[in-house]
Structure 1
Amino acid sequence: MAEKTIEKTGPAAGPETEQAAPPPAGTGTAGAGADKAGTGADKAEPQPRSVRVVLFALMITMLLAMLDNMIVGPAMPTIVGDLGGMEHLSWVVTSYTLATAASTPIWGKLGDMYGRKGSFLTAIVIFLAGSVLSGMAQDMGQLIGFRAVQGLGAGGLMVGVMAIIGDLVPPRDRGKYMGMMTGVMAVAMIGGPLVGGSITDHLGWRWAFYINLPLGAVALAMVTSVLHLPKKKAEGRIDYLGAALLTVGISALVLVTTWGGTEYAWDSAVIMELIGIGVASLIGFLFVQKKAAEPILPLHIFANRNFSLMAVIGFITGFVMFGAMLFLPLFQQSVQGASATNSGLLLLPMLLSMMAVSMVAGRVTTATGKYRVFPIAGTVLMVAGFFLLAQMDTGTSRLTSGLYMAVLGAGMGFLMQVTMLVAQNSVEMKDMGVASSSATLFRTLGSSFGVAIMGALFNNRVQDVMDDRAGALGGKVTETSAQLDAASLAKLPEAVQDAYQHAVSSGTHSAFLLGAAISVVALLASFFVKEIPLRGSGPEDRPTVIAE
């Protein structure tokens, strides 16, 4: 006997409403199917077990999406040794990032127009196909192309997970499940590099991609068999022109942040041209969205104050979080003498704090229906955490840096799930996909800008300090690399080692101060968030399973 999961909630409260609107007839994840079920659907007993099974499958998919880059990173040197093409190595990451960022809004819109389940399954299949092809690559060019295919699928994974949770779970209950997803992300960040290094050493780098297959197969089977959502028939056609303009604009901006200050100088012709192309494409995209029957990114959702504020806070969270993930291991290896493996483990205070706080915040949101305090508390802790990290120097102990990281992790934990929750609660059900994809996109773009800008500031500061402390020899070292691990650092003369440690300490000080300053903007934005009551979690709001 088939089962169908039905969401009986209507659209979330609008930007100025003080309570949720009653659900209109025919809305929810079952659509017309709910109407056909008649009174039987209304009297069915809730079956939360089936929803939990779906959510378990979604957690596996989230793990799949988060683990990939974390696992592949440690395999990069081995890949270059096998395939060659060192000069194109950065494109292994860039092609994946570009495809993910550019496709994210499109996946969200496809789910809204044609049904969430079909688009989500398609994204999983594309991701797995890209994983297989990447593992079979025979040269660097093939690997770069297949990584783009993988990234295209990855763009739909996180969007699909968050949008399906939005379909199945009322806002009042959604916080605890999104807290669980944040926990999965933290597990991936902790375990990914360790698993990736172990797989590469014992099975070979190709298994860094093949490892996605068993996880993906489990997720695919569970989603196919358990998740029953209605197929939708869109009245309009997808906005191909808008999709093309948005893709070009996002790609240009990501390339600017990826190449600027590394491949090309910030004031080079290539970077200036990319900036011009990106700005022109996005301006054209805005004009197209105003006239499109089915816009990729409906501009009316930004009229909602809470949604726009979550976009800003999400962008800044991505900006500073990935900057911290980049520079903390570097500080630990270069200044505190940790190995590459240990530097990953030394991030545990931040990641465990983030996971624990996110879980608690989700449960409190479910119990009380209140959430406004969390973005305020999160941004306060984020500012404090970055300010504390900026005080670290060559004499800072691992215990002290761990405590500082725990403060930052707590701030991240308050923000990671609440930004998505409030963004989804600020739109109608028909825009759930684009709300989820927009929140994901802004965080992704924030991470690209954060890594680029904080990285440029760090590298410039390291160069200046090395020139001052070690003279010509210091300049030669930083020309070779501004990021040396503990083993490479030990081979340098003692005077240069001391100069480099002070340079890295000074560089991270500048980067973390920038993180604190940027976080103040998120803090100011959080005070303007309006407490729109979440719909309750009574029987009328829960997903139910209807026998057909």
Structure 2
Amino acid sequence: MSAPQAVDASAAAPKTTRQTIEALSGLLLVLFVAMLSGTVVSIALPKIIGALEGTQTQYTWVVTATLLTATAATPVWGKLADLFNKKLLIQVAIGIFVVGSVVSGFAQDAGQLIAARAFQGLGVGGLQALVQVAIAAMIPPRERGRYNGYLGAVMALATVGGPLLGGLIADTSWLGWRWCFFIGVPIAVIAMLVLQFTLHLPTVKRDNVKIDYLGITLISSGVSLLLIWISFVDHSFAWLSWQTAAMAGGSVLLLALATLVEARAAEPVVPLHIVTKRGTALAILASLAVGMAMFGGAVFLGQYFQIGRGYTPTESGLLTIPMMAGVLTSSIVSGRMITRSGRVKPYIVTGAIVLVGGFAMLGTIDHLTPLWFVGIAMFAVGAGVGMSMQNLVLAVQNSVALKDMGAASSSVAFFRSLGGTIGVSVLGAILANRVTDQITHDLAAAGIPTGGGSAGGGSLNIAALPEPIRHIVTAAYGDATGHIFIVSACIAVVGVIAALLLKPVTLRSSIDLPDAARTAAVAADAIDGAPAFDQVELQPDGAGDNRPVTART
């Protein structure tokens, strides 16, 4: 392990609230455009695949390709952030995202779109990981709570505003579906320019940096193979088949080899001494459960409103506003209270419990459930997400040194994305099987030949179906969706258990761990002859601003 050589003193200096918000504005734009790239496309995907004359398998892969590459790339980006300039890495990720978005918008067939979305996913994974790392390098854990409201607002706006924007684009003839991909390009370019002038982060320069190429290859290959298997199992081949043995077994083997390599690497992509700590491991487990429940459940709400209830894409986006309100409200309130008390566990536990309650309520819905009840349930789900998701990352960041912040933050994001990918695939399979069974049963009960009904049930163009079949299909989707929310609630219970087992801690007020900061300062002093500092803190004053408090050794 190489020792740090020097630290950029100007970048490491404490920042005022105004400087912090200026830098945060660019980071929030980056996070918004990364999340928007997925949500804005999801609602318009039926039109996109129809225009490109794609198949149902290609429909799935337009979504899965981005998730796969983003998830596999997340820990790599996080480790690179510990070794190289964080600002430059964010700009590189933005560049990859912009190129992928432009190529996706000009795709001439579904195969080209899938390839472009996979490339775009590399940038998305980088943006999602690096934004968290940059914020952690800029704001102490205790002070970070007050800024969680901004993060929550961005998450809410992208999660709910994305489908609404996608619906408007899909319903507007003069724009066309290609603008679902182009819309993020100018936002990303603006974010890059804002970051160039506002983001100044300390860079620790190291001698003889060693990149763990073997670990990167094994982790990326193992995760990719696992996600490919999850995407195809129960559709293209059975759970018990040679394909399952080859893919699942191969993934386990690759990840086992990656664990051995990471245990011996000088600069591991995923430091085992961090992810195996009790607090980090429990936060990862909770994030995995929250990711599976939230992404796996919430992604089907748009389908419920459009197919199960007959609303347009634009109306579906508007109907999901209660979830956005829940995320925004809970993240702002809990963030302020966390900054005041320094305690994060109570809010994580409360959020996980509220999330389970929200999904349990959604588990009772069918195609006739009053919209006010659905809205209350969605608000509860959003509130649970707002209190738990970002604070789980915060709990991990509080326990690690600044030099390991990238790897630790990206590990939580990685498992959350992995959980989301698994949740979408598994709950999607459950929904498809339940819908098929119910449609087949109801068609037979109505005296309609099941051969023709199967075709009709497989079509998402509800308006083109004959009236008797249309009613059966919409009722099947509306009734079956509640079942997958019950499964989501059961998965979210795991997050509650993990949250309860977290050790209560008080968030630190320093950017780095005191011992780690002292060691780095002494090293810099020995090399450069500069005065060493024990730690740099941001203390809130009576006016709510941040005053730098620096203690000399």
Q: Does 1:205 align with 2:177?
A: yes
Give how far 1:79 is off.
3.9
2-structure distance, mates of 1:84, 1:475: 24
* Corresponding position of 1:117: 87
Separation (CA, whole Å) in 2 of partners of 1:342 and 1:221: 34
Q: Deviations over 1:16-35 (max 9, x none)?
A: xxxxxxxxxx99xx95333x
Contact 1:182–1:416 (CA under 8 A) maintained in structure 2: no
Deviates more, 1:504-513 or 1:522-531: 504-513
Pairs within 5 Å for 1:506-517: 506-517=479-490
Structure 2 CA distance for aligned equivalents of residues 521 and 135 of structure 1 = 39
- Please list the CA deviations of residues 497-536 of structure 1 after superposition, one character each: whole Å capped at 9, or x if unmatched: 5544553344223212211211221111111111221123
Q: Is the 8 A contact 1:112 1:433 kept in 2?
A: yes
1:195 alignment partner, one of 138, 157, 165: 165
Counterpart CA distance in 2 for 1:193 and 1:284 is 40
| Residues 330 and 217 of structure 1, relative CA distance in 2, 3 Å threshold | closer
Shift of 1:106: 0.4
- Residue 169, structure 1, aligned to residue 139, structure 2: yes
- In structure 2, relative to structure 1, the CA distance for the partners of 1:263 and 1:390 (3 Å cut) is same
User: Contact between 1:461 and 1:506, CA under 8 Å: does it hold in 2?
Assistant: no
Cα distance in 1 for residues equivalent to 2:303 and 2:237 = 23
User: Could you say if the C-alpha distance between residues 474 and 139 of structure 1 is closer, same or farther in structure 2, counting changes exceeding 3 Å?
Assistant: closer
**Which of 266, 276, 299 is equivalent to 1:303?**
276
1:156 match: 126
More deviation in 389-398 or 329-338? 329-338
- 1:170 shift after superposition: 0.5
The 5 Å alignment of 1:343-492 reads: 343-471=316-444, 473-474=449-450, 476-478=452-454, 480-481=456-457, 484=460, 487-488=463-464, 491-492=465-466
Residue of structure 1 in register with 2:232 after alignment? 259
Whether 1:97 aligns to 2:72 is no
CA 1:418–1:231 in structure 2 vs 1: closer, same or farther (change >3 Å)?
closer
**The residue matched to 1:417 in structure 2 has which SS?**
helix
Give me the whole-angstrom Cα distance separating, in 1, the residues matched to 2:431 and 2:14: 58
Structure 1 residues 453 and 82: CA distance shift in structure 2, 3 A = closer
Residues 114 and 231, structure 1, Cα contact 8 Å, conserved in 2? yes
Q: In structure 2, how many angstroms separate the alpha carbons of the residues matched to 1:294 and 1:131?
A: 32
Which stretch shifts more, 458-467 or 498-507? 498-507
C-alpha distance in structure 2 between counterparts of 1:140 and 1:196, whole Å:
19
Aligned partner (choices 80, 88, 108) of residue 78 of structure 2: 108
Distance (Å, rounded) in 2 between the aligned partners of 1:231 and 1:94? 35
Q: 1:341 and 2:314 equivalent?
A: yes
Local SS of the residue matching 1:233: strand
Per mean C-alpha deviation after superposition, the further-off stretch among 46-55 and 463-472 is 463-472
CA distance in 2, matches of 1:535, 1:342: 44
CA–CA separation in structure 2 for the residues paired with 1:498 and 1:421: 47
Call closer, same or farther: CA 1:46–1:341 in 2, change over 3 Å. Answer: closer
The within-5 A match list for 1:190-339 is 190-200=160-170, 201-234=173-206, 235-339=208-312
Q: Per-residue CA shift, 1:94-115, capped at 9, x if unaligned? A: 3222211111110000010112
Structure 1 equivalent of residue 98 of structure 2? 128
- State the alpha-carbon separation in 2 of the partners of residues 59 and 223 from structure 1: 10
Match of 1:144 in 2: 114
Partner deviation per Cα, 1:319-369 (whole Å, 9 max, x = no partner): 011222233233333443333322222111122112111111111111111
Among 33, 50, 55, the alignment partner of 2:8 is 33
Provide the C-alpha distance between the structure 2 equivalents of 1:203 and 1:464, rounded to a whole number of angstroms: 38
In 2, distance between residues paired with 1:198 and 1:508? 24
1-structure distance, mates of 2:389, 2:361: 21
Structure 1 residue 381: deviation in Å? Answer: 1.0
Of residues 326-335 and 170-179 in structure 1, the stretch that sits farther from structure 2 once superposed is 326-335
Q: TM-score, structure 2 length as denominator?
A: 0.85
Contact residue 165 and residue 314 of structure 2 kept, 8 A: no
Give 1:75 shift. Answer: 4.3
CA shift for structure 1 position 46: 4.8
The answer to whether the 8 A contact 1:340-1:485 is kept is: no
Contact 2:275 2:411 in 1 (8 A): no
Q: Which amino acid aligns with 1:304?
A: K
Shift of 1:181: 1.3
Query: Which range is displaced more, 75-84 or 120-129?
Result: 75-84
Inter-partner Cα distance in structure 1 for 2:248 and 2:302: 31
Whole-angstrom distance in 1 between the partners of 2:241 and 2:456: 21
Report the counterpart of residue 525 of structure 1 in structure 2.
Answer: 498
Amino acid aligned to 1:438:
S
**How much does 1:416 deviate?**
1.9
> Shift of residue 144 of structure 1?
2.6
Counterpart-to-counterpart distance in 2, 1:74 and 1:444:
20
Bigger shift: residues 227-236 or 172-181 = 227-236
Residue 11 of structure 2 is aligned to residue 57 of structure 1: no
Give 3-state SS (helix, strand or coil) of 2:503's partner.
coil
| Amino acid aligned to 1:287 | L
Cα distance in 2 between the residues matched to 1:259 and 1:307? 31
Amino acid at match of 1:333: Q
Deviations 1:175-228 (A, max 9, x none): 232331121011012221232343453233333322222211111112122222
Structure 1 residues 46 and 183, CA gap change in structure 2 (3 angstroms): closer
Please state if 1:71 is matched with 2:40: yes
Whole-angstrom distance in 1 between the partners of 2:399 and 2:309: 45
RMSD: 2.8
Confirm or deny: 8 A CA contact 1:333 1:486 kept in the other structure. Answer: no
Structure 2 unaligned blocks of 5 or more: 512-534, 539-545, 549-553
1:423-462 Cα shifts (integer Å, max 9, x gaps) = 2112111111011111111111111111122122222222
State the shift of 1:147 in Å. 2.0
Q: CA deviation at 1:470?
A: 2.2
Q: Contact 2:69–2:121 at 8 Å: present in 1 too?
A: yes
Instruction: Name the SS for the 2:501 alignment partner.
Output: coil
Q: 1:80 to 1:524 in 2, by over 3 A?
A: closer
For residues 45 and 455 of structure 1, what CA distance do their matches in structure 2 show? 47
* Higher RCO (C-alpha 8 Å, min separation 6): 1
Q: Percent identity?
A: 38
In 2: Cα distance, 1:269 partner to 1:448 partner? 23
Contact 1:290 1:299 in 2 (8 A): yes
CA shift for structure 1 position 77: 4.4
Other structure's SS at 2:395 match: helix
Residue 422 of structure 1: how far off its partner (Å): 0.7
Write the mapping of 1:72-87 to structure 2, written as runs, cut at 5 A: 72-80=41-49, 82-86=51-55
Aligned equivalents of 2:290 and 2:357: distance in 1?
14
Partner Cα separation in structure 2 for residue 533 and residue 292 of structure 1: 32
Quote the residue 1:185 is aligned against: 155
Q: Distance in 2 between matches of 1:244 and 1:544?
A: 44
Tell me by how many angstroms 1:76 deviates. 3.5
Give yes or no for contact 1:62–1:161 (8 Å, CA) kept in 2: yes
Q: Distance in 1 between matches of 2:117 and 2:305?
A: 30
Could you say which residue in structure 1 is the equivalent of 2:516? none
State how far apart, in whole Å, the 2-side matches of 1:211 and 1:45 are.
36
Report how many residues are paired.
510
Contact 2:79 2:407 in 1 (8 A): yes
